[in-house]
Homo-oligomer: A and B are copies of this chain.
Amino acid sequence: MRAQLDFYFDFSSPYGYLASERVEALAQKHDLDLQWHAIALGFIFPLTGQQPVVNVPLMRDYFLHDVQRCARDNALAYHHPDVFPVGTVAACRTFYWLKQHHPALLIPFTHAVYRAYFTQGEPIASADDVASVAVRAGLQPDGLTQASQDPAVKAATKNAIDDAVARGVFGSPYFLIGDEPFWGNDRIEQIDRYLSEPA
């Protein structure tokens, strides 16, 4: 049986965006069953007392520099959005609506939202923003604009985030291979080494 790689990310997380562009190659290299899990850190940070790093003195400047440096290191486009961070509940709910109703669109949708926000600075905070991004990317299933108002989707989103927390997820990107956790885009090389070791 193929091992599973669980990839947790927040749509407003720059390092999550970078990882989203790299995780498929990692999974392919090691023949892993890659599972994508959107989370909303707005629900998780209160549990840990964390706050967005741009609100933290001293760390803010480092972070803004480091994200762009890491994007260059990873040979990925990056433009820091003027409005940052943003709420990601609507994007998260749309993600879980797609997962249920149009699973084939899940990964294209994820890339579309991340790229719209982190390379074009397009808004992604509201349900309308998210639907617009999806439509411009050629993804327009019936019902998309109402997705985030669906009570079943709201419940599915909450359950997904609760499950993530129950597995110890506290940041983005976060990876689990079984019980082995890895936090951060800068750990992808470590995951690669971990998977390359004899079991």
Contacts and interface: CB of A to CB of B under 8 A. Distances in A.
Interface of A: 44, 47-51, 56-59, 61-62, 65-66, 73, 165, 168-170, 181, 183-184, 186-187, 189-190, 193
Given A48-B56, A50-B56, A56-B49, A61 B187 contact: no
Contact of A62 (B49, B65, B183): B183
A58 B168 contact: yes
Nearest to A184: B186
A89 to B, nearest CB: 20
Nearest to A51: B49
Among A58, A183, A187, residue most surrounded by chain B Cβ atoms (within 10 Å): A58
27 contacts: A44-B58, A47-B57, A47-B58, A48-B56, A48-B57, A49-B51, A49-B56, A49-B57, A50-B56, A58-B165, A58-B168, A58-B169, A58-B170, A59-B170, A61-B168, A62-B168, A62-B170, A62-B181, A65-B181, A66-B181, A66-B183, A73-B190, A73-B193, A184-B186, A186-B187, A186-B190, A189-B189
Contacts of A181: 62, 65-66
A71 to B, nearest CB: 13
Contacts of A51: 49
By DSSP majority rule, is chain A's interface helix, strand, loop, or mixed?
A: helix
A18 B43 CA distance: 33
Nearest to A169: B58
A57 B184 CA distance: 18
A190 B189 CA distance: 11
A191 to B, nearest CB: 11
- By Cβ-Cβ distance, the 5 closest A-B pairs, closest first, are A58-B170, A48-B56, A48-B58, A59-B170, A62-B181
Contacts of A66: 181, 183
